[in-house]
Amino acid sequence: MLCVGDDPLPSGRLLRPCSPRCAAMARRWPPLVVGLALLLLLSVAASSVVAKTDQPDVAALNVMFESMNKPSELLGWKASGGDPCGDDDEWKGIECSDSSVTEINLSGLGLSGTLGYQLSSLKSVTKFDVSKNNLNGEIPYQLPPNVVQLNLRGNAFSGGVPYSISQMTDLETLNLGKNQLSGQLTDMFSQLPKLTTMDLSFNSFSGNLPPSFQYLKNLKTLDVESNQFSGHINVLAKLSLEDLNVKNNKFTGWIPSKLKSIDNLETGGNSWSSGPAPPGMEKESSAGSSNGRDDSGINGFAIGAMVIAVLLAALILLSVLRRNHSSPVSSHYYTDESDPISLMNHSSSDLLAATGNFSSSRQLGQGTTGCVFRAKYADGRVLAVKKFDPLSFSGSSDFMDTVNGIAKLRHTNISELVGYCSEPGHYMLVYDYHMNGSLYDFLHLSDAYSRPLTWDTRVRIAVCTAHALEYLHEVCSPPVLHKNIKSSNVLLDADLNPHLSDCGLSFFYEDASENLGPGYSAPECSRPSAYVMKSDVYSFGVIMLELLTGQKPYDSSKPRTEQCLVKYVAPQLHDSDALGSLADPALRGLYPPKALSRFADCIALCVQSLLRCVQRTISNRGMAGYLSNSQRSDISDW
């Protein structure tokens, strides 16, 4: 029998030799007890030596098994430890190569629960198939990063498509069909050069097809049947598709003639235009295509090699920040004049009745420009009515100039103006109503644990809001300053998609620091004339900070050094050790650390580059004396 002090294996010691006192105690123990204790210790040590599977793979599968409620169908799986690639430990549906898990095939097993949050550790998995189960919740951001075939079809997944999919450069097959996915597709498909098959059918996706679809040059099969997609399908004309199914959506316009030679083309159940088709277009009855090998324009679009999808926001912000000039605010900005603007002219009595005589119980918010009320109609329609002080305008003509200007701002992520009231003394704007209220309310005034914003959703809100800001600054001509960007003006619809409100009302804000409130105003905005487009970007950076931390931009209840969120957090944005402690506890740690770091980089780009710009301007113009001592002190704190 081995003694405690013996060397059990000639290849090396697994146990440290006992001290003389330990050896004496061992001699007094019954031999059987000593032997059993030693065997137990040896078994633990041996298990750690002979385990074949890479430990990150084991940990990811453990979390996945636990998240799926430990189903009995998954024979061999464990919630802790195990060796799925070992010779004596077979796990159902798992294939390995050497010590790495390479395939997960769990189709049609009646599995429920979620997929967990650690799948990104499965770096060698090339096939991930959990189709035809009852899995639910959002598709996790943390998916196997090098997967070639991803099949989640036939489950109950909700929410949107995670941005991490845009980084799967080896992805060839993406099947998300027959789930409960919804909302707009983010424009994130430009970096998937190997994708040949994509199935998004039988979901509730809405909005236009993303422009980046045109870069899927190897895509052969696309199925978007039975969604709520709208707009035209011209973006598909450049693809070499062999199978295309766009049935039962809300597409309009004409079908590009280049699609008419597709072998299998399904286009029914849409609202195609019936008038004469423009050159290069066909009516639905004669729809078809060519092989779509027109590559023109492909090099003009550059999202860049992103480390993670959140860098989309960084690129948008870089584009905004590169503008070195500011433009005067104008109510005469023109975007797309091709479609007529149609707004409903409401009577004041109509809006009075719909809002319950502007009852305080119907009030949604109050700001510098007026109060906002919820209007409910007998047919079930719900709208938001912004009621102005009658003295805000010199007359109906002045008000209608404002209405016409706002009506021209048309973007998916900008609150849409649908009507107005211009009776003397009654000036009101009517907007679409967004049922989830403002981002500020969602982050700061609700129970974060009962209405959580997942990491994926927060990134989507940031990116879509950045798109809205890019539209105002880059697309509108002349550029439009917002001057009131804050989380209370980011409204969330039923799918938690953001809509920037109060656009086109910047003339109300003589002093932006007053309407923005503490925490949002850029340091140089002490003078109305100092407000520039980069000031908008600064305020957007504060919103991103709120999304990251879950904290208010200014909180007087905190210690003085922590009251202003930007001043307190900005010095820590590049400290990887501190970032984890800054993240909103409501996230419960369910986010990729690299994504958190990149998100912080975007924030720094917004709030710090502006300050550097201000400091350079002051230095270049010899205006150091312009700032008071307290203002210079504030800037030096950054």
Specify the CATH number of the domain 439-636.
Answer: 1.10.510.10
**Bridge partner list, 174:** 150, 198
Pick the range with the lowest mean pLDDT from 66-80, 249-263, 368-382, 604-618.
604-618
Residue 610 has pLDDT above 60, yes or no: no
pLDDT grade, residue 236 (50/70/90)? Answer: very high
For position 342, what pLDDT does the model report?
Answer: 77
Integer CA distances (angstroms), 65 to 76, 78, 85, 136, in order: 11, 7, 16, 14
Residue 110 has pLDDT above 70, yes or no: yes
Beginning with the edge strand found earlier in the chain, give each strand of the sheet holding 197-199 in spatial order.
94-97, 100-105, 127-129, 149-151, 173-175, 197-199, 221-223, 243-245, 264-266
- Listed ranges 161-175, 274-288, 382-396, 451-465; the one with the highest mean pLDDT: 161-175
Residue 341 has pLDDT above 80, yes or no: no
Specify the CATH number of the domain 344-432.
Answer: 3.30.200.20
State how far the Cα of 565 lies from the Cα of 586, in Å rounded to an integer. Answer: 18
Residue 267 has pLDDT above 70, yes or no: yes
State how far the Cα of 548 lies from the Cα of 606, in Å rounded to an integer. Answer: 14
State how far the Cα of 259 lies from the Cα of 243, in Å rounded to an integer. Answer: 10
For position 328, what pLDDT does the model report?
Answer: 38
**Distance from the Cα of residue 244 to its chain's centroid:** 28
Residue 8 has pLDDT above 90, yes or no: no
- What pLDDT, in 10s, does the model give residues 295-337? 333 333 333 333 334 444 554 554 544 443 343 333 334 444 4
Helices (H) and strands (E) in the chain, counts: 14, 26
For position 68, what pLDDT does the model report?
Answer: 94
For position 177, what pLDDT does the model report?
Answer: 96
State how far the Cα of 473 lies from the Cα of 619, in Å rounded to an integer. Answer: 26
User: Which part of the chain has CATH 3.80.10.10?
Assistant: 160-300
Residue 448 has pLDDT above 70, yes or no: no
For position 331, what pLDDT does the model report?
Answer: 36
- Dihedral class, residue 588 (left if φ above 0, else alpha if ψ from -120 to 50, else beta): left
Q: DSSP letters along 544-572, please? A: HHHHHH---SB-TTS-GGGSBHHHHHGGG
For position 225, what pLDDT does the model report?
Answer: 96
- What pLDDT, in 10s, does the model give residues 193-213? 999 999 999 999 998 898 889
State how far the Cα of 437 lies from the Cα of 4, in Å rounded to an integer. Answer: 68
Average pLDDT over residues 453-457: 83
- What pLDDT, in 10s, does the model give residues 530-582? 677 888 888 898 999 999 999 988 888 888 888 888 888 888 888 877 888 88
For position 367, what pLDDT does the model report?
Answer: 76
For position 522, what pLDDT does the model report?
Answer: 66
Which listed CATH number (3.40.50.150, 3.80.10.10, 3.40.630.10, 3.40.50.720) goes with 160-300?
3.80.10.10
| pLDDT, the chain, mean | 77
For position 186, what pLDDT does the model report?
Answer: 78
Residue 157 has pLDDT above 50, yes or no: yes
411 C-beta neighbours (distance < 10 Å), count: 20
Q: Is 387 annotated as a binding residue?
A: yes
For position 512, what pLDDT does the model report?
Answer: 53
State how far the Cα of 374 lies from the Cα of 462, in Å rounded to an integer. Answer: 26
**Residue 36 amino acid letter:** L
What's the pTM?
0.51
Residue 286 has pLDDT above 90, yes or no: no
Q: Give the largest Cα separation in the chain, rounded.
A: 103
Instruction: Yes or no: say if 406 and 420 are a contact pair by the CB < 8 Å rule.
Output: no
User: Which part of the chain has CATH 1.10.510.10?
Assistant: 439-636
- What pLDDT, in 10s, does the model give residues 492-535? 988 788 999 989 888 777 655 555 666 666 666 656 556 778 88
Instruction: Yes or no: say if 523 and 631 are a contact pair by the CB < 8 Å rule.
Output: yes
State how far the Cα of 113 lies from the Cα of 111, in Å rounded to an integer. Answer: 7
